[in-house]
Structure 1
Amino acid sequence: MTIAVSILPAQQLAVLNDAYRKAVARKRLRFALATAVFVATLIIAAVGAEVNLRTFFTHFGNFVSYFDRVLTLEDGTRVWTNIGEWLWGWQKWSLLLGETILISYVGTLAGAVLAFALNFLAAENTAPAAWLRILVKRFLEFCRTVPDIVFALIFVIAFGLGPMAGVLAITIHCIGALGKQYSEIVENIDMRPVEGVRSTGAGWISCMRFAVLPQVAAGFAGYTLLRFEINVRGASVMGFVGAGGIGQELVVAIRKFYYSDVSAILLMIVLTVFVIDIGTGWIRGRLFGRDRHA
């Protein structure tokens, strides 16, 4: 079957081509201006942050040499040539890693429970009163704005050295972080089920239970597991201020220049995070009803 292709008159085609070239030129101009603004902003920010490329490249060798030292045993051989000497304290470090994981678990669970209780009051479409929503939002902002390590330092001063300070710090930071994520999920739900439940005369709690929660449960679970991964890394650092866990042993090794111990502890932390990441990914896949591949 023959298909006829209509050809526009030369004058009309020239007008269309000219309009197309002008549109492309305007788009390229906008892109060039945006790129120039981005580069200028980056340079200004770098100057304000005192980023000095000369200093970076001058002292970059110190960074490389430090990694060379942490991969060298005291007898001058590489760490992988004598695994037993390198990982001599694996039993003690494993116990401290277990403590770090428990700190993260308890802190995440407690923070998630409190964030779950508060997020419905912070979401714009479910808050029973505007003044209460504003108050809860400001509280959540405070909880997540202050770094968790600062909270850990405060609790160490208040309650002394140990895991309790780490648990409290992670709990408070989790309330703010998860509360915001939960409330944003709630704000994007379909409100028709809520209106349907409300039309039956059900109260606010019943609306949250039967109309909102079924829509957001999977998202809540996914964000909670992700926050647990983040908190494991955060709990490892909290040991620097005495909040328990593997961080205390790591900071001792750094301060006493036990270079091979630093690399061994870091290796165990990295492997632990890998295992947790794979495990939580599998759990998310099971909860969301689809296969996940690492």
Structure 2
Amino acid sequence: MAPSITRLSDTQLDAMMRVYDGAIAAKRRQTLLGFAILAIAVAIAAQVGEVDLAKFGANLHRFGDYVVRLAHLENGAPVLSDVREWFWGVRRWLWLLGETILIAYMGTLMGALGGLVLCFFSARNLMGNGTVRFATKRFLEVCRTVPEMVFALIFVIAFGLGPVPGVLALAVHSTGALGKLFCEVVENIDMKPVDGVKANGGSWVEVVRFAALPQVLSNFASYTLLRFEINVRGAAVMGFVGAGGIGQDLMEAIRKFYYSDVSALLVLIVGTVMVIDLLTERLRHALLGLERA
């Protein structure tokens, strides 16, 4: 038996169409208003930032000229025509690159340990003391809000030039960033094991150790690897303020207009970051696959 089809009268159809047209018109007005607000915000930002489009257009060719100059040696020949001359300082640069990776590794490790400890104190489902939770969250916010370069400058003044300020700067910033991510993971755990440990008279530390930690370790490791990728990039520029690594030689080459050295150092840094990104990506996917299994 064929289903019956309800037919509306012309009056009902007209009323529905008017409502539909009104909704479409309201949506269009909201879209136009959003674009207008965005345009006003961009105009205000340009005014405050003293953006001069005429000056920008007049000097845009200099960027292209600089990029082209990076692809040539000091004698004007293309860099690929004499790779040995291009990478004349490869032994020193590889040593500094290894130092950069170690700075990122130590900074990530210390930051992960700090975030691991503090995340449980800031998790709403595990820490019942509101004062402790509030203080911990504010501390993590301070750690991740201040840029690494600012921390690096502070630690350079305190401890002098070298890799130690870079490690400490990355460690402090990573503690804040990873602590936030770890806390969100902890707040989404299954509470049944937590209730079970509490029911058997377990202390807060035992609840964290036996009920919460086993559920979050794989996610913690995945976030730590992701942070290591970010810190390798951050450590590469720590040398700009004297905090060790290959960034110091890169800044010196830029200041002295050693174009071929700049391009060689950039190739080494970009290549290293790409390899590390690929390796850590595979490790993170493997960890997440184990967790799903």
The TM tier, using the shorter chain, reads over 0.9
Aligned to 2:244, what secondary structure does the other structure show?
coil
The 3 A distance-change label for structure 1 pair 190 and 48 is farther
Unaligned runs of 5+ in 2: none
Letter in 2 for 1:138: R
The 3 A distance-change label for structure 1 pair 195 and 42 is farther
Partner of 1:185: 185
Alpha-carbon distance in 2 for matches of 1:48, 1:192: 54
1:108-187 matches, cutoff 5 A: 108-187=108-187
1:82 correspondence with 2:90: no
Alpha-carbon distance in 2 for matches of 1:36, 1:74: 50
Which TM-score applies when normalising by structure 1? 0.93
Partner of 1:266: 266
Partner of 2:95: 95
Aligned to 2:218, what secondary structure does the other structure show?
helix
Partner of 1:25: 25
CA deviation after TM superposition for structure 1 residue 104, in Å: 0.4
Range with greater deviation from structure 2 (180-189 or 104-113): 180-189
Aligned to 2:25, what secondary structure does the other structure show?
helix
Letter in 1 for 2:174: C
Alpha-carbon distance in 2 for matches of 1:125, 1:271: 43
CA deviation after TM superposition for structure 1 residue 280, in Å: 0.3
1:186-205 matches, cutoff 5 A: 186-205=186-205
Alpha-carbon distance in 2 for matches of 1:18, 1:198: 60
The 3 A distance-change label for structure 1 pair 192 and 51 is farther
Alpha-carbon distance in 1 for matches of 2:182, 2:126: 12
Letter in 2 for 1:245: G
CA deviation after TM superposition for structure 1 residue 185, in Å: 2.1
String of CA shifts for 1:41-62, please: whole Å, max 9, x gaps. 2221221122222221121122
Partner of 2:226: 226
Aligned to 2:237, what secondary structure does the other structure show?
helix
Aligned to 1:289, what secondary structure does the other structure show?
helix
CA deviation after TM superposition for structure 1 residue 266, in Å: 0.5
Partner of 1:47: 47
Alpha-carbon distance in 1 for matches of 2:128, 2:2: 68
CA deviation after TM superposition for structure 1 residue 276, in Å: 0.5
Alpha-carbon distance in 2 for matches of 1:269, 1:62: 24
CA deviation after TM superposition for structure 1 residue 273, in Å: 0.4
CA deviation after TM superposition for structure 1 residue 191, in Å: 3.2
Range with greater deviation from structure 2 (259-268 or 203-212): 203-212
CA deviation after TM superposition for structure 1 residue 187, in Å: 2.4
Range with greater deviation from structure 2 (202-211 or 117-126): 202-211
String of CA shifts for 1:150-177, please: whole Å, max 9, x gaps. 2212222222211111111111111111
Alpha-carbon distance in 2 for matches of 1:256, 1:53: 29
Aligned to 1:161, what secondary structure does the other structure show?
coil
Aligned to 1:105, what secondary structure does the other structure show?
helix
CA deviation after TM superposition for structure 1 residue 214, in Å: 3.0
String of CA shifts for 1:217-266, please: whole Å, max 9, x gaps. 23212211111111111111111111111011111111221110000000
What is the number of equivalent residue pairs in this alignment?
A: 290
